[in-house]
Amino acid sequence: MDTILELTSDDVAYVEGNFICLHARPANGPAPSYVLEDGREFYPADYFDQEMDETQFKARLRAEMETQNVTSIDPEETWQTYLEGIYGVCLRSATPENIVRKNALLERIEALTNSPQEHDPAWVRALKTAVDSLDVLERPFSPHYDRKRFGKPPTRDSHIRNVRRRFPQIS
């Protein structure tokens, strides 16, 4: 991650309160999720529990893709993104399974909100379940920095907050 964008004091407080600072990146693991302006590198607290083996990572990813019936994920691209530390930014636990689950939930939420049936209790339950499940998987994101660095609202905003605002019956 580069530090071209400026982190506000709220962003720094979020990072310091939700991630651990390691003085040296492990050789084969994901990059830090955040690098502060003073050079400190921050990683998810469960960093050493994350999958560090590429073969195992892809095997777990493919198994969950089959379980969730997700075909839109490229294992090689996902491994590279994982190594960049991006999944540590957005997932409470950056496992291959949670990466696939997040993708499946995003697809489900988009499908449901593209064909709203607000008066159908089954549709309302399905949307609520998907949004609540995504809420459990995702981190809050930093208050300002993450919203700038990705160039678009994080999925916490687009697929959780905004969907709950649009469909208050699921809150």
HEC sequence for the chain: CCCCCCCCHHHHHHHHHHEEEECCCCCCCCCCCEECCCCCEEEECCHHHCCCCHHHHHHHHHHHHHHHCCCCCCHHHHHHHHHCCHHHHHECCCCHHHHHHHHHHHHHHHHHHHCCCCCCHHHHHHHHHHHHHHHHHECCCCCCHHHHHCCCCCHHHHHHHHHHHHCHHHC
Q: Does the pTM of the predicted model rise above 0.85?
A: yes
Provide the pLDDT for residue 1. Answer: 44
Cα four-point dihedral sign 97, 98, 103, 105: positive
Q: Which residue did the predictor score with more confidence, 144 or 25?
A: 144
Which of 98, 100, 76, 75 is CA-nearest to residue 88?
98
Provide the pLDDT for residue 171. Answer: 86
Q: Model confidence at 24, in pLDDT bands (50, 70, 90)?
A: confident
Rounded-to-integer distance, Cα 71 and Cα 54, Å: 19
Determine how many CB atoms are found less than 10 A away from the CB of residue 49: 11
| Per-residue pLDDT at 135 exceeds 80 | yes
Bridge partners of 159, per DSSP, are none
For 125-148, what is the mean pLDDT?
A: 95
Provide the pLDDT for residue 62. Answer: 98
Q: Model confidence at 5, in pLDDT bands (50, 70, 90)?
A: low
Q: What crossing angle do the helices spanning 54-68 and 75-83 adopt, rounded to 10°?
A: 120
Provide the pLDDT for residue 43. Answer: 96
Task: Give residues with Cβ within 8 angstroms of 37, minimum separation 6.
Answer: 3, 6, 7
| Per-residue pLDDT at 23 exceeds 60 | yes
Rounded-to-integer distance, Cα 144 and Cα 121, Å: 36
